[in-house]
Amino acid sequence: MAKITKVSPLAPAAFPDLPAIGGVTFATAEAGVRYAGRTDVMLACLAPGTSIAGVFTRSLTRSANVMDCQAKLGGDSTGGGVIIVNSGNSNAFTGKAGEASVAAICAAVAQATGVPEGRVFTSSTGVIGEKLPHDRIVAKIGDLVAAQSPDGIAAAARAIMTTDTFPKGSARSVGIGGKTVQIAGIAKGSGMIAPDMATMLVYIFTDAKVEQGALQAVVSRLSDVTFNCITVDSDTSTSDSLILAATGASGVDATGDKAFEDALHAVMLDLAHQVVRDGEGATKFVEIRVTGAVSDAEAKTHAMSIANSPLVKTAIAGQDPNWGRIVMAIGKSGAAADRDRLSIRFGDVLVAENGWVAPGYKEADAAAHMKGENLQIGVDIGLGAGQATVWTCDLTHDYIAINADYRS
Amino acid sequence: MAKITKVSPLAPAAFPDLPAIGGVTFATAEAGVRYAGRTDVMLACLAPGTSIAGVFTRSLTRSANVMDCQAKLGGDSTGGGVIIVNSGNSNAFTGKAGEASVAAICAAVAQATGVPEGRVFTSSTGVIGEKLPHDRIVAKIGDLVAAQSPDGIAAAARAIMTTDTFPKGSARSVGIGGKTVQIAGIAKGSGMIAPDMATMLVYIFTDAKVEQGALQAVVSRLSDVTFNCITVDSDTSTSDSLILAATGASGVDATGDKAFEDALHAVMLDLAHQVVRDGEGATKFVEIRVTGAVSDAEAKTHAMSIANSPLVKTAIAGQDPNWGRIVMAIGKSGAAADRDRLSIRFGDVLVAENGWVAPGYKEADAAAHMKGENLQIGVDIGLGAGQATVWTCDLTHDYIAINADYRS
């Protein structure tokens, strides 16, 4: 485990009040997968008719759980559904044993709940390459099923943490046709667990009624502008998973509803930002907005090149308005750029334009912006109308301490 | 300037004895571009008939010097040639003023030497975004031309340093047709100079006779397996330049000669390794060899994904045989992989195979390998015959200190 256990300086003041979501109940347990004295399994039961959509890591070495979830999306929803998540062991790179563990958990959940195995979705996060002691989880399933409560979502947020320094939750409500629809979500990441990599898990629940195909389309589209626009260190987990469950308990059909989509977007963005705010060693939350690229895709390529550059991230840690490193990151990104059309801003301060430092630029102005906790870097490429916004954190001594020192 | 000025623990014991190269003379000067009390300009004069080839950064925000050099490659060699390099200011992102500085230096060199402007190659390395005070360099050109000596290459290696912790040189000789051909090269990188990024500059000289087109072909091909296979932090400079000059003074035509190419390869690889060994904060030199990929290109994609992963690099810094992070880096690389066909070795220790930890693997064995200064990570993808080898260093607290702390 990491030596650094202080709460991130970028954490929200408190965990939000999350509403109960009709059609969803939660339970948590201490299964002792790896940790002692804390919960490490969460179970969410979903009412019959719940639409389930998901987005998963593109890693080619993804875990057995991820592959199983992907295969199950789009199945018959009449039997309800279950999401079961353990922390402490990621069940990744465990060969055929990994698939056996997933099968054993799904079978036990199906037997205890009556939900078909094809509607049981599992996630595991934690140590990689060690056989998941799934018997410890299976042994708790009876207790979990018995303890279901509509108010358990905050406890669930805690049970899925690994080395996260704070639990992550977000909620929005939205009025549709005179009724109210609730959306509540929890997430974990990007803490570390020896010897594993950062993993992001996200579970979002709503009592809206949305047909599965439409739900999948909206969550895929919104992931591209939220969770797929954040980066801590450019590394991709073998286990990243986002599952969105729409129970329909509100009786409100939100399929294609713009207000519902906006509210879901807000929940996803809030959770994504919280993941960045818990980036290992982070002391700065950084929004990078690129405009003027030849396409939105090229704008994102530039923005991610800036966000993932160790030289940019260390400059931010040092509170250094080092625009030369921004120029470097744009130049190497592979997307189109013209040195003499670039302009760069730190906050509201115009730093560079026309291929050179801006006339009248005073480093003290930009340096003052860099001393804040929430930074904005703006880049206009000057070539077109493409734009993108991504979020990242700085690269600090504590990142090295968390990731290099704890097993030495 | 960086606070950390100790010599890299990975530095060679001493600067090598480099032979004089027929047809090349060197001089250095203290022009005071940025530094006081040290040389910061080097001039190399090349005999008439010298073939000049080069490889340059692919950055779209590359410096005026780089664009000027690229435009001049392949010109008429009858008038000889000159390479002039300054440290302290990179002349990058300086708008039209950057092009004016290059033109002023080339004109002054041409006037002082009689070499056509089209055969004067310039490089600048150091601070970005500040106008190059080229008058200070121009003022020294008379002295530099007067001071030319065939034995000045070691001094030249020192004049081009920025925050390099040691000068970098390498030489080989090769017998061809009963005569001896000499190859000697110098390099700088990847030290930092506030507020610039790492820059790699390489100059290699030989008295072999090689036609320009053939020389360009061989240096391009060898760059792909030497300088383009090293990475310190994944960032790409706006100024990276490699120039190879073949004077022909030995009278030996080495065009297409395998022994010459092998010797040149050895010099380039040695210099590339020295650049990695001077990576900011480096304490480990790491060779990553990937075999069994579906193509050589995909093997290199996997290898660079491993070499650039902050999680892999911090694990190496922590002497942690963290093979889970290798699996992660392969999975995210974008090149083909099958979890269950991978095998991973640290040194001679088989760590993982068949999608899981290897039977009989003892972490103590791999941990012993990780304690060394020179590490090997071997990955077999198990899908084909593609292979690649790349070199990198670890990611340490000193990297953060050098890049984040010195301006705070």
- Put simply, whether A387 touches B (Cβ < 8 Å) is no
In terms of domains, do A252 and A144 share one? yes
CATH number at residue A250: 3.60.70.12
Beta strands in B80-200 (DSSP E): 81-89, 120-127, 168-176, 179-188
Q: Same domain, yes or no, for B343 and B213?
A: no
Mean pLDDT along residues A101-115: 98
**Of A217, A243, A277, which residue is a domain's last?**
A277
Residue B12 lies in a domain: no
| Cβ–Cβ contact A354 with B under 8 A | yes
A8, part of any domain:
no
Which domain covers residue B295, as residue numbers? 285-405
pLDDT tens, N- to C-terminus, chain B (408 residues): 344 468 999 999 999 999 999 999 999 999 999 989 999 999 999 999 999 999 998 888 888 999 999 999 999 999 999 999 999 999 988 889 999 999 999 999 999 999 999 999 999 998 888 899 999 999 999 999 999 999 999 999 999 998 889 999 999 999 999 999 999 999 998 654 344 445 789 999 999 999 999 999 999 999 999 998 888 776 777 788 999 999 999 999 999 999 999 999 999 999 999 999 998 889 999 999 999 999 999 999 999 999 988 889 999 999 999 888 899 899 888 899 998 899 999 999 999 998 889 999 999 999 999 999 999 999 999 999 999 999 999 988 888 888 886 543
Which residues of chain A have a CB within 8 Å of the CB of B193?
Answer: none
Tokens of A340: 């003499």
Do both A108 and A207 map to the same domain? yes
Residue where a domain terminates, one of B277, B306, B331: B277
Smallest CA-to-CA distance from B123 within B67, B85, B69 is with B85
Do residues A113 and A229 share a domain? yes
Instruction: Decide if B6 is inside a domain.
Output: no
CATH number at residue A367: 3.10.20.340
In sequence order, the 6+-apart residues with CB closer than 8 A to the CB of B195 are A315, A320, A322, A323, A324, A325, B127, B128, B129, B407
Q: Given pLDDT bands bounded at 50, 70 and 90, which one contains residue A405?
A: low
* Per-residue buried b or exposed e for A182-194, using 16+ beta carbons within 10 Å of the residue's own CB: bbbbbbbbbbbbb
CA A277, CA A129: separation in Å to the nearest integer? 28
A314 touches B: beta carbon within 8 Å: yes
Asked if A176 reaches chain B (Cβ–Cβ under 8 Å), the answer is no
The pLDDT value given to residue A126: 86
Nearest CA in chain A to B354: A95
**B252 plus B199 within the same structural domain:** yes
Structural domains in chain B (count): 2
| pLDDT on residue B198 | 58
d(CA A308, CA A298) in angstroms, rounded, equals 15
The ipTM value here is 0.83
Which of B62, B197, B355 lies closest to A324 in CB terms? B197
Q: Using CA atoms, how far apart are residues A320 and B404, in angstroms rounded to an integer?
A: 8
Domain boundary among B247, B277, B307: B277
In DSSP terms, which residues pair with A162 in a beta bridge? none
- Any CB–CB contact under 8 A between B325 and chain A? yes
Contact A236 B62 (CB under 8 A): no
Do B299 and B332 sit in the same domain of this protein?
A: yes
Same domain as B318, residue B273: no
Residue A196 above 50 pLDDT? no
Indicate yes or no: CB of A322 within 8 angstroms of CB of B407: yes
Write down the pLDDT at residue B234: 67
Residue B162 sits at the chain A interface (C-beta within 8 Å): no
Is the residue at A183 inside a domain? yes
Of B93, B127, B322, the CB nearest to A356: B93
Q: Are B60 and A336 inside 8 Å of each other by CB?
A: yes
Whether B43 and B120 map to the same domain: the answer is: yes
Closest CA–CA distance from residue B95 to any residue of chain A (Å): 5
Q: How many CB pairs under 8 A join A and B?
A: 228
B379 contact residues in A (CB cutoff 8 A): none
Q: Within an 8 Å CB–CB cutoff, is residue A357 touching chain B?
A: yes
B positions 9-38 inside 8 Å of A (CB): none
Angle between helices B310-317 and B296-308 (to 10 degrees): 60
Active-site position among B28, B199, B206, B238: B199
The verdict on residue B372 lying in a domain is: yes
| B321 vs B169: CA distance, rounded Å | 33
Q: Do B318 and A95 touch (CB under 8 A)?
A: no
Q: Which residue among B60, B324, B407 places its CB closest to the CB of A320?
A: B407
Q: Is B199 a catalytic residue?
A: yes
Q: Among all chains, which residue has been given the structure tokens 């290798």?
A: B326
The amino acid present at B47, given as its one-letter code, is A
- B399 contacts A314? CB cut-off 8 A: yes
Instruction: Provide CB contacts within 8 A for B359, sequence distance 6+.
Output: none
Whole-number Å distance between alpha carbons of B185 and B243:
10
Beta strands B24-29 and B41-46, pairing class: antiparallel
pLDDT one-digit tens code per residue, A87-107: 999 998 888 999 999 999 999
> Residue A304: pLDDT above 70?
yes
Assign B356 to helix, strand or coil: strand
Average pLDDT (A364-392) is 96
Other Cβ atoms less than 10 A from the Cβ of B297: the count is: 11
- B330:A60 CB<8 A: yes
The answer to the question of residue B152 being in a domain is yes
Residue B407, pLDDT score: 42
Same domain membership, residue B181 and residue B88 = yes
Query: CA-nearest residue of chain A to B64?
Result: A339
Structural domain contains residue B18: no
Lowest-pLDDT range of A134-148, A351-365, B30-44: A351-365
| One-letter amino acid for residue A251 of the chain | G
Whether residues A113 and A89 share a domain: the answer is yes
Of B364, B339, B335, the residue nearest B349 (C-alpha)? B364
A183, A261: one domain? yes
Residue A204: band (very low, low, confident or very high) from pLDDT cuts 50, 70, 90: very high
Confirm or reject contact between B382 and chain A (CB < 8 A). no
Give B55's contacts (C-beta < 8 A, 6+ positions apart). B219, B220, B223, B227, B241, B242
Residue A333 has pLDDT above 60, yes or no: yes
Burial category of A177 from C-beta neighbours within 10 Å (exposed 0-12, middle 13-18, buried 19 and up): exposed
> Which two tokens mark A356?
């050179």
- pLDDT digit string (tens) for B36-54? 999 999 999 999 999 999 9
Q: Which of A113, A199, A226, A238 is catalytic?
A: A199
Average pLDDT, chain A: 91
> With an 8 Å Cβ cutoff, is B164 touching chain A?
no
In a domain, A5, yes or no: no
In chain A, which residue's Cα lies nearest the Cα of B370? Answer: A408
Of A181-190, A259-268, B188-197, the range with the lowest mean pLDDT is B188-197
Would you call A317 an interface residue with chain B, using a CB distance cutoff of 8 Å?
A: yes
Residues of A in contact with B319 (CB under 8 A): 408
Q: Which letter, b or e, does each residue of B314-343 get, where b requires 16 or more Cβ atoms within 10 Å of its Cβ?
A: bbbbbbbbbbbbbbbbbbbbebbbebeebb
Pairwise CB contact (< 8 Å): B325 & A129: no
Facing B397 at nearest CB: one of A92, A320, A400: A400
Quote the tokens at residue B307.
């070499």
Co-location of B219 and B171 in the same domain: yes
Beta-carbon separation of B400 and A405 below 8 A:
no
Interchain proximity B197–A325, CB inside 8 Å: yes
Q: Is A228 an interface residue toward B (CB < 8 Å)?
A: no
- DSSP state letter for A226: T
